[in-house]
Structure formats: C-alpha cells, structure tokens
Amino acid sequence: MRRQHTRENESLRGRRAFDFAGNLSLRARQFVTRRARKITFAAGHVVQLEGDICDSITLVETGEIRVYKVSEKGREICLYHVEAGEACALAIGCALTGQRYPATAKAVGSVTALALPSSLFLELAAREPALSRRVAHLLAQRLLELTTLVSEIAFEDVDQRLARFLLHETDGTAAEVRSTHAAIAAELGTVREVVTRALEWYASNGWVSIGRGVVTVEDRAALRSLFPRETP
C-alpha cells in the first residue's frame, strides 16, 4: 500500500541506497562505506518516534518505511513512504534545522538500510554538489506532495479521498487493493467505520466489490467522476 507515489519514486524503485547520492565522488563513496552502519529492520519496527532527535539519516536499500502522524486518540494519517534509494525528507529536515522528528516512521516489510550520523550526512552534502542537489530535490518533492495532501484533507470528504486512494493503488493493471479497512483508514486519517461505510456505498453502486482483506475496483470512471473538475 503506497501513498504519494511519484515519478521520482518510480525512477528509483529497485535501486540501492547508495544511489541516493547519484554521482558521488569516489572519495565520498569510500567515506560512506567507511562511516555508515548497515542495519536491518523487521516488519513493523518503529524506526523513529515523534519527538526523537534526528542524529542519524537512514538510507533505505530495500523495503519501505511508512511515515505518518498519530493523533491523541490514536488515529493515523500517512504522510509518505520512503522507498528503496531514498532517505526520509523529514529526518533530513530535522537534521538541517535542529528540530525534533515530528512523525512516526515504521518499517512496512523488512527493511535493509545504511545509517549515517546526521552531522556526517550534512558535511557530505555540503561537499558534494550531487548529494546537495538530491537533498533539495527530495525536500521539494515532499513539500509539493504535502501541499496536495493539505488541500485533499481540508477540502475533500472521505468518499472522495477513498476513491482517490483506490484509483491510485490500482494504477496500472491491478484492480485489487489488498488491505483491511482499518489499514486504509490509517492511510487516510480516518477511522475504520467511515471507510467501511464509504466502501459499502461504492459497492451498492457497483463501483467496487469487497472481499476479505481485498477491495476490487470495478468501475474506475465512476470513482473518477467524484472529481468533476479533474475529469477530461
């Protein structure tokens, strides 16, 4: 399950963390190899908690980390996923500004990564134009995505946001979203009951069919019609 899926992510899928830095100099690559620590997170491992000091930057090699906010009442909303070849923009942002981590980061499946102390990461970025460009690009990309997320949460109802989510997850050939209603609710910042109600409404219209742990999109055009202005 994946939100905020961008062309940027697409181009990086399957690459390794080392590629985060693109055209690093040989000297810089040796520096990373020498100073970074190889780590593995089991599925569900909490990589970073709200309030943590960001003293290291995690470069994901394989797997995926979900970054989300948790409310006082335990509701969740997904900000983005950090995929192979990426680092967490918020962790870098905290390292840059000295602020504490403002979200929760959790391994989706098992994750392998390189961890580099933040001070060394920033030092390296200051020395290596390729890394500095990559950092600016990553921060910019996440900023643009969060701008979209702000307007979706502020202006769209759950029916629309759920449709957007299902269309996004079934982009391409797959029509099935393998996920529980609770997990979908956690992506959207709402509760299970609201997702179930909306899905049942879609199903009664024949737009989706609902199975155990799976939602199948039957009528993409109908879901898209919930966004009149965007339909060509």
Shortest distance, position 78 Cβ to a second copy, whole Å: 10
- Helix, strand and coil content of the chain, in percent to the nearest 5, comes to 45, 20, 35
49 lies in the binding site for a second copy (CB under 8 A): no
Q: Which residue lies nearer to a second copy by CB, 161 or 181? A: 161
155 lies in the binding site for a second copy (CB under 8 A): yes
**Number of residues binding to a second copy, judged by CB under 8 A:** 44
What whole-number distance in Å separates Cα of residue 78 and Cα of residue 76?
7
Instruction: Find the binder of a second copy among 43, 46, 49, 150 (CB under 8 A).
Output: 150
Instruction: Find the binder of a second copy among 69, 168, 192, 220 (CB under 8 A).
Output: 69
Strand pairing category for 46-48 and 56-62: unpaired
The secondary structure of 128-165 as a DSSP string is -HHHHHHHHHHHHHHHHHHHHHHHHHHH--HHHHHHHH
Nearest to 47 by CA among 67, 70, 75: 67
**Contact positions vs a second copy (CB under 8 A):** 8, 69, 71-73, 75, 77, 79, 89-90, 92-94, 96-97, 99, 102-103, 125-126, 129, 132-133, 135-137, 139-144, 146-151, 153-155, 189, 228-229
